[in-house]
Structure 1
Amino acid sequence: MLKRYIAALGLSLALPAWSQTTVADDTPSMQLDESAMETQQVLVTGRRPGPGLWKVSKGDHVLWIFGTYSPLPRKMEWRSRDVEDIVAKSQEFLPPPSANVHVGTLKALTALPFLVGAKNNPDGKTLKDVLPPDVYARWLPLRKKYFKDDEGIERERPVFVAEELYGRALAASGLGNGREVRMAIDTIVRKSKIKITESTANAEIKEPGKALKEFKKSAMDDTACFAKTLTQLETDIDAMRVRANAWAIGDLAVIENLDYADRKAACDAAFLSSPILNSESDLKMMRERVRQAWLASVDKSLETNSSTFAVLEMKDILDPHGLLAALRAKGYTVEPPK
């Protein structure tokens, strides 16, 4: 448990792009917003295919990419015959890029004294102490709505509170992380028995005690993350439902205009400025290593296979600096769904 906790903290700080973007399904249960759920049922009913597949080709060798999105309606049923057909004729599956952070047992024990309160603000400060007064005032009604009488949340760093708040708010609106889609895809792939190639980077926290000690006493530049999370929840819940519905019905015109950057970019920046990344060089380079591992897997698959199937988050497909843009820069032919 100790090793997993330290590794998870290190991974979340090193790889916000992959580890902090989904809504946790273990969010405490709460009364759902009935009007939100009613709207949700009108927007997405029955079985939905999601978007079509992006085509990346090198000569007559093709990589088909399916884009996942979060948040999605929690009760939506997904099935895509396009995905089933492509997997059936493919030789290899490339899951989304991932990372593993390792902590040795003895080294983890040395970090134990520093583990308690790792998510809290340094020097016993509260959110009221570290946030601008106007931002803190905006937080109070949301705290009352989603955290009730949990005073302990006031001691945590803004970036951790923002992530927890975001998850609870989406759950209350009938939205979830869409993991059912990935689970369904994994089932299709397993049944097909095709080769699965993970694009994974590994790192070890060499001095977990030192890293946690430094982290606990250092402030994070996370006010923008917190403020943008408040703004999104104050103004953007309805727009989230529209985006989720666009993904569900495969409306490419709307999908291409989805907002992937604002809140998440600010929270990513907060994690990436963490002192742990400065003290652990392996973690500092993790994000780029994961990216390069996936691109290398694509190169090899397009050289070897006539057909390969892959899954990426939609932001990595549409981001002008994302993974699909990197493939285009390599000279591959990239075509959107038809």
Structure 2
Amino acid sequence: MIRTPILAGVFTALFSAPCGAAAQTDAQAVRVSDATGPAQPAAGIVNLDPLTVSGPQPGPGLWRVSRGEHDLWILGALSPLPEGITWNADSVVDLVGQSQEVLWGPRFVVDADVGFFRKLSLGYGMLKAEKNPDGATLEDVLSPELYARWAAAKQRYLPRDRGIERKRPMVAAREVFLAAIGEADLGFPKIISPPIRAVTQADGIKETTPKVSVKIEDPAGAIKDVRRMSLNDSACLEATLDAIDRLLPRMITNANAWATGDLAQIRFDQLDRRNNTCADVFSNAEFSRKWGIPDIRASTRDEWLRAAEASLAKNTTTFAVLPLEDLVAPDGYVARLRALGYEIDAP
């Protein structure tokens, strides 16, 4: 068995649960604090001050979920974060060492039975599936207004990437977003899992990653479907450009606040719009219905809750890591656990 995403690393919104994707709509603006934040800057590419946070930082407090003598401690992870920080994880390391199980965030996995040479041919198909059907360019598939915005963003963040003009809007959105947050000194430093896994491996503590798995019997056929499909993914690119134009300062504020443990300063507002919009390109498409792809966010959340309840029932102490925005959303994990009758202590 080879476990392979059909469009590995490209359409991650389809085949995995994004670490930063919240499960609420844009109308349900999520706040860790109800305090009114600063007004958003006007539309247009903004110049950003450098990040002020670097070096060792305490990170955020933990949520405690309890029933009787059984506790589940949850760390809310955030991305992107400042590239230059390190995390002082001493208190978390101590708590993990007292736990019987570590529960990671849920994953969505596509299984495909393929041989070695067939896997190589699928890789070629994946590369071609990144491109617009019939050799179209972004200028061909985007409205004139949206293409003008894209061209300005590309000139700033991806000036040397000529090939991206033939990529799907969804792929272009991902590349320009990564380039923009990189210019803002934000990224995805691996600071959370290494100290936790050092303890679990040293002490033999069980690790659990809840998974929703879908098996596709004809991966080559699925790739052909993606290559021929005309997706309405211009909305994904538009939402991404909106995030870059207006919300990078909020991302920086959130990243600094997470690093320093100041959760009251973190607000998500419309930051989840990009994740939801891009995920919905495939989640609501004919492709998902044909190949049996369920609602990814709903199915993975339900699977994690089942695993969390099982852990709470059998363990005295369980430690978990979840995306912060999924944790605090109005219909997120904390709200769902509270509705199930668990006692919740927020940090």
The residue type paired with residue 324 of structure 2 is M
- SS across alignment from 1:183: helix
Name the counterpart of 2:12. Answer: 12
Answering whether residue 326 of structure 2 is matched by residue 319 of structure 1, we say no
Which of 239, 251, 254 is residue 262 of structure 2 equivalent to?
251
More displaced 10-residue stretch of structure 1: 124-133 or 172-181? 172-181
CA distance in 2, matches of 1:233, 1:113: 31
Answering whether residue 50 of structure 2 is matched by residue 65 of structure 1, we say no
Query: How big is the shift at 1:233?
Result: 1.2
Query: How big is the shift at 1:255?
Result: 2.3
Answering whether residue 98 of structure 2 is matched by residue 89 of structure 1, we say yes
More displaced 10-residue stretch of structure 1: 52-61 or 7-16? 7-16
More displaced 10-residue stretch of structure 1: 305-314 or 106-115? 106-115
The residue type paired with residue 60 of structure 2 is P
Task: Give the paired residue count.
Answer: 319
Answering whether residue 80 of structure 2 is matched by residue 46 of structure 1, we say no
Partner deviation per Cα, 1:108-153 (whole Å, 9 max, x = no partner):
5785784451011112211111111111101112212222232210
Query: How big is the shift at 1:256?
Result: 5.1
Answering whether residue 233 of structure 2 is matched by residue 215 of structure 1, we say no
- SS across alignment from 2:341: coil
Q: Is the 8 A contact 2:15 2:109 kept in 1?
A: no
More displaced 10-residue stretch of structure 1: 260-269 or 125-134? 260-269
The residue type paired with residue 299 of structure 1 is E
Which of 284, 289, 300 is residue 273 of structure 1 equivalent to?
284
More displaced 10-residue stretch of structure 1: 169-178 or 9-18? 9-18
Change (3 A) 1:285 1:134: closer
Query: How big is the shift at 1:169?
Result: 1.2
CA distance in 1, matches of 2:97, 2:336: 27
Q: Is the 8 A contact 1:93 1:309 kept in 2?
A: yes
Name the counterpart of 1:154. Answer: 165
Change (3 A) 1:11 1:297: farther
Structure 2 residue runs without a partner (length 5+)? 22-46
Name the counterpart of 1:26. Answer: none
Query: Which structure dedicates a bigger proportion of its chain to helix?
Result: 1
Q: Is the 8 A contact 1:87 1:192 kept in 2?
A: no
Query: How big is the shift at 1:259?
Result: 4.8
Change (3 A) 1:235 1:116: closer
TM-score, normalised on structure 2? 0.83
TM-score, normalised on structure 1? 0.85
Partner deviation per Cα, 1:196-234 (whole Å, 9 max, x = no partner):
122122222212222122211111121221112112212
Q: Is the 8 A contact 1:96 1:199 kept in 2?
A: yes
Q: Is the 8 A contact 1:200 1:290 kept in 2?
A: yes
Name the counterpart of 1:305. Answer: 315
The residue type paired with residue 294 of structure 1 is W
Change (3 A) 1:314 1:74: same
Change (3 A) 1:292 1:299: same
CA distance in 2, matches of 1:64, 1:183: 18
Change (3 A) 1:53 1:78: same
The residue type paired with residue 338 of structure 2 is R
The residue type paired with residue 8 of structure 1 is A
Query: How big is the shift at 1:65?
Result: 0.1
The residue type paired with residue 250 of structure 1 is G
Query: How big is the shift at 1:328?
Result: 1.7
CA distance in 1, matches of 2:183, 2:4: 29
CA distance in 2, matches of 1:287, 1:10: 18
Query: How big is the shift at 1:265?
Result: 1.6
Name the counterpart of 2:83. Answer: 74
CA distance in 1, matches of 2:90, 2:294: 40
User: What is the RMSD computed on CA atoms of the aligned residues?
Assistant: 2.6
- SS across alignment from 1:56: strand
Q: Is the 8 A contact 2:110 2:216 kept in 1?
A: yes
Name the counterpart of 1:32. Answer: none
- SS across alignment from 1:149: coil
CA distance in 1, matches of 2:262, 2:207: 29
Matches within 5 A, 1:18-33: 18=18
